[in-house]
Amino acid sequence: MLLQTEREQIVVFGRKLIESRLTTGTGGNLSIFDREKGLYAIKPSGVEYKDITAIDVVVMDLDGNIVDGRSKPSSEHNMHRILYQNRTDINAVIHTHSVYSTTLACLGRELPAAHYLVGFGGGNKIPLAPYATFGSQELAQFACEAMDGYYGVLLANHGLLTAGGTIGYAFSAAEEIELCAEIYWRALAVGEPNILTEEQMDDVLAKFSTYGQPTKTS
């Protein structure tokens, strides 16, 4: 099976998205890129995560062609493809409709550094991409531009997009950014959150570069 390992990981991490309540039903999508082969494995469209098997996962090339798989690919495949085309540090992409991140996106708000774990997104905030219809090339372009220099971006009136060198990092970023979004939302309900300075976040990002077992660009 072409990209068997990557297809099996799509199944595993897709179910983790549901178990972690980062998305529901068939919502969201995820992909993994084999840079050597120039191919990526991506979730099939409209199939519940619990029902997906490795053979259902679609393999595509960077020209948007289906190379292997019996299913229709995610409607957001262009949003994944454009990141692989433009970011050599990205080999995995996750898109979710996680509640708190999506709430901020629907309010037209970026996610500032109210908590240092925002640094999982690669900077001192999670930026906001303008709204465009789901599955459109326009949305793919907006997301790519907004994610420049980051590993996470909010999609206006839509959801959250995260990425990384591995699917493990992209998933961790989705979890931690959603946690930060919830903390920020709850803090706003009480008062005005204290936002960490750019200098403070620079210190955080420097520590992140040597924390644990690095996977972001491996």
d(CA 163, CA 153): 9
Residue type present at position 72:
K
User: Is-catalytic flag, 76?
Assistant: yes
Residue type present at position 148:
D
Q: The tokens of 54 are what?
A: 């490795």
Name residue, tokens 């957001």.
76
Name the phi and psi angles at 75, rounded to 5: -65, -15
DSSP 3-state assignment of 67? strand
Which one is catalytic: 6, 76, 175, 178? 76
d(CA 58, CA 184): 36
| Residues acting as catalytic residues | 76
